[in-house]
Structure 1
Amino acid sequence: MVAVPNNWADIESDIIYQTTSDLLVSFSQEQIKLGIKYDHNASCL
C-alpha cells in the first residue's frame, strides 16, 4: 500500500492509500479538486 501524501496535488484518484492508523482510503477526482480548493494546508489529510 501507498501512504497518504501530505498534499492534495500529490493524490491520484482511485488509488488506495493507507493511513497512519492502517485504514485504507481512496479519493475521487472531485474530492481531490475540493481538497485543493478548500483545504490549502492539507489539514484534512
Structure 2
Amino acid sequence: MDEKLTDARNFVADHGALFDTICMGCTDINRPLIDDMLGSSE
C-alpha cells in the first residue's frame, strides 16, 4: 500500500515537472485537477 502511494506521488511530481517544461504556468491551471485526481491524500 505504501509503495503504491509513493509511486503515485512520484508520478504526479514527474508529470508536474514534465508539464512545467511543456507549458510554463499551465500547471497552476491544472493543479486543482491533479489534486482532485489524487483525492487530497495528504
Q: TM-score, normalised by structure 2?
A: 0.32
More strand by share: 1
Point out which structure has higher relative CO (alpha carbons under 8 A, 6+ apart). Answer: 1
In terms of fraction of residues, the more helix-rich structure is 2
